Structures are given as C-alpha cells and as structure tokens.
Amino acid sequence: MHKEILEDIGEKELINRIRKFVPKNQISDDCALIKTKHENLLINTDSLVENVHFNDITICPEDIGWKAVVSNISDLLSSGSKKTIGVTISLVLPPRTEWIWVEELYKGINKALEEYGGVILGGDCSKGVEKIISITAFGVQGELELRRNACKPGDIILTTGIHGLSKLGFLIKNKINFDNEYSLNKRLIIKSIEHFCRPKVYPNFLNNLLKTRSNKNIKRIGCTDSSDGLFQALQDLAIASNCKAIINYEKMPIDKDWPKGDRWDEYYFFGGEDYELVFSLPKKWAKNLSKLDKNINEIGIFADGEPSIEFKDYKQNKLFNNTPYKHF
Amino acid sequence: MHKEILEDIGEKELINRIRKFVPKNQISDDCALIKTKHENLLINTDSLVENVHFNDITICPEDIGWKAVVSNISDLLSSGSKKTIGVTISLVLPPRTEWIWVEELYKGINKALEEYGGVILGGDCSKGVEKIISITAFGVQGELELRRNACKPGDIILTTGIHGLSKLGFLIKNKINFDNEYSLNKRLIIKSIEHFCRPKVYPNFLNNLLKTRSNKNIKRIGCTDSSDGLFQALQDLAIASNCKAIINYEKMPIDKDWPKGDRWDEYYFFGGEDYELVFSLPKKWAKNLSKLDKNINEIGIFADGEPSIEFKDYKQNKLFNNTPYKHF
C-alpha cells in the first residue's frame, strides 16, 4: 500500500487537512479568539525550529528571542489586539545546549516584551535533538476586528513599510555574495540585517486606523501580516475574503537602493519575515490614512472575482508560477 | 573557559534559573493566570517530545493525542479550572511522517476534548527532525483557587486514585519482562496499559470539594497533579507552601495486586504520568470528602518545618536518595 507522507502532501494541503478536524472559523485566521463576558482575548502560537527557522550561524540567541516575541505580537496586531497581555514559552533544547544560549534568548524575549508590553506568564522546557522555541501570545481584542476574511470588493489594498528586506538580511548573513552582480550599498546592508535580526511591529497602526475612520459603523477590516511573504499575505486575504486582488506593481514601496530584476522581485514578494501589515480599507478611509501616515502605501484594489492575484501593469505570470514560502 | 551546558545543570536548576527571568509568582504553579474583568483564565502549556515522552513502539498516535490533551486538562483541574475552553496545538513533524499518523493524533485529541470539553482554537505546524506536540490549554478559574503554595501546617494530605500504574504500563509496553520475578495478573496488566495510554482526569473532583466544604471562607487550597510522580508532587507542594509533608506509607492507596518491594515502591512514588491529584485540606473538610468519595485517600499531614518529605512509618532514606523524574 502506498504510504502518504507529509513531504508529498505539501504544507498548504497539510494545513487544509488539519483544518477539517477543527470547528469552522476557529483556525482560518492569524489568531484564535476566546470570548469572555467583558472582553475578547486573541491568542497566537508560533514555533521557531532550529535549522528550519533559524540556525546558530545566521542569528544570535538574543535576536531569536526578540524575533520569536515580535512574530507573535505581529499576529496579534494584525487581528486588532489593543494590548499584549503576555506570553507562555515552551522550549525544547538539546542537553548539550550552553546555558548562556538560554540566558541570551530570554534577554531578547524580555527586551521585546519591554518594548511592546506583556509579561512572561509561564512555560515549560523539555529536552530534544534540536532547539525549538514555541511561543503563545495573548492580547486583548480592540474595537476594530482585523480579519483575513473581511476584505470587500472595492476596498483599497494597503501595506505598511517595505518588503523583502528581511530576506536580503538573511541572505547577507548566509554570506551570499552579491558583489559580482550588484553592489549593495552599506546603508541597505545594515538596514536589511536589522530587519532580519530585529524586526519591529508597526507602532501606531491601530491608533491611526481609528483616527482616520470616517464611518464608525465599520468595525471589521481585512488584514494579515507579511510573515510568510507579501504574496502569501495577499493570497490569504483573497482566499479568505473570496475576492480578487489587483496589484499595482509601480506603487509597491521599495527601498530607494533596492536593485531591479526578477530575483529582487522574488525576494520582495516571497521573502517573508518582514512582519509588515497587509490590509484593505474603503476608499475614503484609505486616503485619509495614507495621508496621515507616510509609511503606509496604497498598492492595489480588491475586486469581484475568483480568489486570485492579478498585476495591473506587470508581467505577472512569472511571479505567479513561483512557489510561495513553504516549510514541507 | 568552561562552557556550562544544560546536561550539567540539571532540570530543576534549569527551571529555577529560567524563573529568574520571569516576574514573581507567574511561573511557580501548574498554570498561568490571566485576569479579565469578569473571570480569570487558567493557561497551561505542555510539550510531548518524541523519544523523550513517547515513541512509536510504546504508544500509538491516537493515544498520544488523547494523552497530550489530558495532561493539560489535568494541570487546569489541579488549579481549579471549572471549565475547559479549548486548546491550541503546535506540531513539529518530520517531512517523512505519514499523513495517517497526523489523522490518528487528531482523532485522539478530539476524543479527549469530547470527553472533557473544549475545542481546538488554533495552532501551527512546522517541519523538524523529531515529532513534537505542544498543547496550550485554556480553562476558566472556578470558585476554589487550587495552588501549590496554599498548603498549611495541620492540613491533611490527600490523593485521588492509585499511583504507579502508568509507569508499569510503560514498562510492559517496552516489553520489560517481569515474569521471572513477579507474576503480574492479567487485570493489573490491562489496567496499567490503560493508565499509560489513556489516562483519565478525576471527574467530580471540584464538585465534591465544593459539596464537602464546611467553611465557605476558605477559597484557596493546596493542590498539584502527579504528572511527574507522587514524590515530586509532594515535594513541589512542600517547597511552594514552605512546610513539611509527613507521609503515612501504610495508608497509600495501592492496587490490590501491586507487588511488594523497593522496585515497586520506586514505580509508585517516582513513576509519573498518573495525572492523579495530590492536595491538602483542613481536617474536617478532608474527613467529609474522603467519606463522600471512596477513591480519595488521606495519606499524611503537613507540619511546620523545613520543606521536606518525611515518612512516618517507613525506612524513608532509601526513597529520599532516589532521583525524581528528570528530563535533562
């Protein structure tokens, strides 16, 4: 009998199959939701696995700790969390791990919590053959519910920050030599490494959203983060909201020294780990927000149609045929 | 320079050091607590690591799923959770894992949730070299706060059920041959395997506690579960509550066919994974409860003194010198 293994199934299909074991609507977003009588809690779990998500060559333990917290807070924020309550930390560590590694990891964890709020609520620790840091983060649902499935045809698609930098930082840390083809300037190199090692979440996002909302009746907007890459984020929104994303390639915010070419487009759209927000708003709201906050850019529009991504002014097929971020 | 590694530090010391990174009182119990305006939530995280906590020879994936949920619910219950809200599940799986393994795992997870309440709230999945199932469970804090640090001198020490059975089940599954020394009867073998593969949590514990409480002002009682063994549970209570446990060996509830001897005492006190409750109550309450519920036994008393465990009528030193359940 043919034995079906995960490698053959692929990550997307695996997640789809696992979803079938789960009550409807509980697992198709960045966060899970617990309703209590007074306020709703947002919960997010993310695991970082050695040699899959990190290794000792490209990133130091303090940065891993920071990043593990930030990736969780980014998911909370992209669901509309107004406050981070705290995190639980589940560690798996090989017995030959040095104590200093654990100490540095917690230094990074606590620095990120100092920066973004929240405390360590608990955790456990087991031995294993590779290091794994699994963090569950808790936040309080704010007034605006940000959900993957809340994009509407006619909504403007927006994004914070610049994509691709984290991927470039990762490649530089892996000593990929670009010098033969491109001369990367020093500023871009430093910025990319910073984005890879010490990603930030977007500070005033929720406040600015609330400030610029003209219609107080709108309580749900479409949103996710670009942790698995910009393309994946757009695809997740399109599928969950059942509409078509039409992207204006010319309007994508890029670093002023970002090289041109297919390879760089690939880093930009599929790189991942940028933790920028990708979201959609009604026209007027979008205009108000991008006027108030110069780091937010309109990059396209959602339209009626099969869930898909279309580039308005670009040979999109090349990108389409690319494989998004995958683990299996 | 000497590099200090976890293997040399040991599990207990590692946990103690990690606690120093954590705000006081947040990590010294079975569960973490989140206060919301109306009710408090209990949170517990437990990870099962392949070849540390399970392997494909001794336990099937459906039983692993069941057990992963039950071990978390046991921790919630031992903190006084009156209702399980749900769980998030974080999986690490090697790419060559068969799909059927995942399917069976979720079958066990969902069976346990059907039995004890709660739904799957979310999760994630990554690849890795060994299987890891990390579950975070959420419960609602009931009227009685059960805490490790709430035992008082004069309190009676009680326990549900019988200890050591899970360890025996594990040894039988590992094909340890007892026949040369002991002839284990078939009933005990079946019961032990059941305890190892399909542990249960104690159903009416909280209700019976509330029913037999004579003094409504007492809202906190000392409690933990025996997931790391009875001895470890007693030690955790004694240390957290800063008092001495005096144990009456003759009163320990044992299976009627449980063999006698040091080896069997060791399984009994250090076996672990029984998920029975170990707790303390004022005399009157203890009497009422053990009268109402014949599966609950008084096994000793807490007294003033340095945190320690003393056996009233047994050559305790042998057991004392033993090393409790360890991972590193």
| Domain boundary assignment for chain B | 19-141, 145-320
User: Hey, is the C-beta of B110 within 8 angstroms of any chain A C-beta?
Assistant: yes
The answer to whether domain B19-141 and domain B145-320 are alike in fold is: no
How far is A240 from chain B, CA to nearest CA, in Å?
Answer: 16
Task: Assess contact for A300 and A313: CB atoms under 8 A.
Answer: no
pLDDT < 50 regions, chain B: 323-328
Interface contact B122-A45, CB threshold 8 A: yes
pLDDT at residue A78 in the model: 95
> What is the CATH number assigned to the segment(s) B19-141?
3.30.1330.10
Q: How many CA atoms lie within 13 A of B169 on its CB side?
A: 22
> Residues A4-51: pLDDT tens digits?
888 888 877 887 788 777 765 555 677 888 887 778 999 998 889 999
The distance of A327 to chain B (nearest Cα, Å) reads 6
Cβ contacts of residue B17 below 8 Å, gap of 6+? A99, A102, A103, B9
Task: Say whether pTM exceeds 0.90.
Answer: no
Q: Could you tell me if A171 lies within 8 Å of chain B, comparing CB atoms?
A: no
Q: What is the structure's pLDDT at A327?
A: 42
**Chain B closest CA to A77's CA: distance in Å?**
17
| Phi, psi torsion values for B109, nearest 5 degrees | -60, -50
The per-residue pLDDT for B19 is 77
Test B102 with A18 for CB contact under 8 angstroms.
Answer: yes
Q: Is the CB of residue A83 less than 8 Å away from at least one CB of chain B?
A: no
For the packed helices A230-241 and A262-270, what is the interaxial angle rounded to 10 degrees?
50
**Per-residue tokens: A157:** 């698609």
Token code pair at residue A36: 């209590």
User: In which residue ranges of chain A is pLDDT below 70?
Assistant: 1, 23-28, 179-182, 314-328
Q: Which of A250, A229, A264, A253 is nearest to A312 (CA)?
A: A250
Q: How far apart are CA B151 and CA B145, in angstroms?
A: 12
What was the pLDDT predicted at A171?
92
Instruction: Count CA atoms closer than 13 A to B306's CA, side-chain side.
Output: 2
Contacts (Cβ under 8 Å, ≥6 apart) of B151: B157, B221, B222, B237, B238, B240, B241, B243, B280, B302
B-interface mutation test, from A40, A46, A48, A127, most B Cβ less than 10 A away: A127
Domain A31-141 has CATH 3.40.50.720: no
Are the beta carbons of B328 and A21 separated by less than 8 Å? no
pLDDT recorded at residue A317: 56
Contact (CB<8Å) B21/A109: yes
Q: Identify the CATH number of the domain defined by range A145-320.
A: 3.90.650.10
Evaluated on CA atoms A314, A317, A321, A326, the torsion sign reads: positive
Its ipTM equals 0.84
Residues of A in contact with B37 (CB under 8 A): 37-39
Q: Does B141 touch chain A (CB under 8 A)?
A: no
Within 8 A of B106 by CB-CB distance, chain A residues are 18, 21
Closest of A268, A272, A228 to residue A247, by C-alpha: A268
Contact at CB, B122 and A7, closer than 8 angstroms: no
Nearest CA in chain A to B48: A126
- What is the spatial distance between Cα A57 and Cα B304, in angstroms, rounded to a whole number? 53
pLDDT for the residue numbered A12: 77
